[in-house]
């Protein structure tokens, strides 16, 4: 488990289907085995972990059976010696020629650099709590948990 302190639309209960091991995962490829580019890529963005988990339960990944969970550390824009900690989670879903990147970005707080203050510790503890919940729920639904985040083309 990461340490945050270190900078086909079917909804059946069949786990093989929900994990993308049948038809939905294969639809990303043309019959000759060549990958085809989807007609459209859309993003569904969440900031509330409960809403993200409800979406995961209802319409989980079917393109790749992985829920990616990571942390984003952002330097303070005013130059203060703090980093802003955000929990990120995402997965891919395809319906027809539309690929959806389902994303959660949950800001958990500021962490002071080189200081062991209570507010920073609460932010780190909160991030770890949310990450553990997301990972546990994804695994209970039969999905893998991977590191990293899906990034749209042209963004950093």
Q: What is the pLDDT of residues 61-116, one digit of tens each?
A: 999 999 999 999 999 999 989 999 999 999 999 988 899 999 999 999 999 987 77
Instruction: Report phi then psi at 99, rounded to 5.
Output: -100, 130
Q: Look at the chain and report how many structural domains it folds into.
A: 1
Among 143, 77, 75, 138, residue whose Cα is nearest residue 104? 138
Q: What is the pLDDT of residues 18-70, one digit of tens each?
A: 333 333 333 444 455 566 665 788 999 999 999 999 999 999 999 999 999 99
Please give the residue range of the domain that contains residue 59: 15-146
If phi > 0 it is left, if psi is from -120 to 50 it is alpha, else beta; for residue 132 that is alpha
Hunting for tokens 């993200």 — which residue is that?
52
Whether 8 is in a domain gets the answer no
Whether 25 is in a domain gets the answer yes
């Amino acid at each position: 488990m990461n340490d945050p302190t270190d900078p086909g639309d079917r909804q059946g209960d069949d786990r093989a289907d929900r994990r993308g091991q049948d038809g939905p995962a294969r639809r990303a490829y043309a019959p000759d085995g060549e990958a085809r580019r989807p007609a459209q890529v859309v993003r569904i963005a969440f900031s509330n972990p409960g809403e993200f988990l409800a979406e995961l339960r209802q319409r989980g990944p079917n393109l790749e059976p992985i829920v990616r969970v990571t942390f984003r550390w952002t330097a303070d824009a005013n130059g203060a010696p703090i980093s802003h900690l955000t929990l990120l989670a995402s997965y891919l879903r395809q319906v027809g020629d539309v690929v959806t990147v389902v994303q959660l970005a949950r800001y958990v707080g500021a962490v002071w650099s080189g200081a062991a203050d209570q507010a920073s510790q609460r932010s780190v503890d909160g991030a770890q709590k949310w990450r553990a919940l997301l990972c546990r729920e994804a695994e209970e639904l039969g999905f893998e948990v991977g590191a990293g985040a899906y990034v749209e083309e042209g963004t950093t």
